[in-house]
């Protein structure tokens, strides 16, 4: 089965694009990476349980491979956590060293490895 982030189009990672595409105060998931021949290569996956717009801005100029971003809103922090787990296991990379942390008060398990 082909692995997919389930996210929309990629945008260059800068303040203008983040404000243009990502509504403030929404939670959700994102991926950072670079593009070659139109293909997006994942270099990092993450989530924000508070504000995706703010979180993405923290990654600007953090790593030269973080040229583009994709994102997806989540309705709940539990949904964001489960999506991040799937992304983490589907797109292993050197920048995501640790398994995604559970949201506060979340008692469920990772849907992939049951950690």
Residues paired with 39 in a beta bridge: 36
Say whether residue 110 binds Zn ion (CB under 5 A). yes
Distance CA 51, CA 107 (A): 22
Complex with Zn ion: residue 54 or 113, whichever CB lies closer: 113
- Residue 73 Cβ vs Zn ion, minimum distance, rounded to whole Å: 22
Size of the site for Zn ion (CB under 5 A): 5
Closest CA to 24 of 33, 15, 13: 15
Say whether residue 115 binds Zn ion (CB under 5 A). yes
Is-contact 32 43, C-beta < 8 A? Answer: yes
Say whether residue 24 binds Zn ion (CB under 5 A). no
Say whether residue 78 binds Zn ion (CB under 5 A). no
Distance CA 51, CA 23 (A): 9
Q: Mark the segment that binds Zn ion (CB under 5 A) among 36-44, 51-59, 72-80, 107-115.
A: 107-115
Distance CA 19, CA 38 (A): 23
Binding site for Zn ion (CB under 5 A): 85, 110, 112-113, 115
């Amino acid at each position: 089965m082909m692995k997919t982030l389930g996210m929309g189009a990629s945008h260059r990672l800068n303040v203008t694009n983040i404000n243009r595409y990502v509504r403030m105060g929404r939670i959700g998931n994102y991926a950072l990476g670079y593009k070659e021949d139109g293909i997006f290569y994942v270099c990092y996956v993450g989530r924000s349980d508070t504000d995706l717009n703010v979180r993405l801005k923290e990654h600007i100029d953090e790593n030269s491979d973080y040229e583009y971003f994709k994102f997806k809103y989540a309705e709940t922090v539990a949904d964001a956590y489960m999506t991040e787990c799937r992304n983490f296991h589907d797109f292993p990379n050197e920048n995501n060293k640790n398994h995604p942390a559970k949201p506060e008060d979340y008692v469920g398990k990772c849907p992939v490895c049951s950690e």
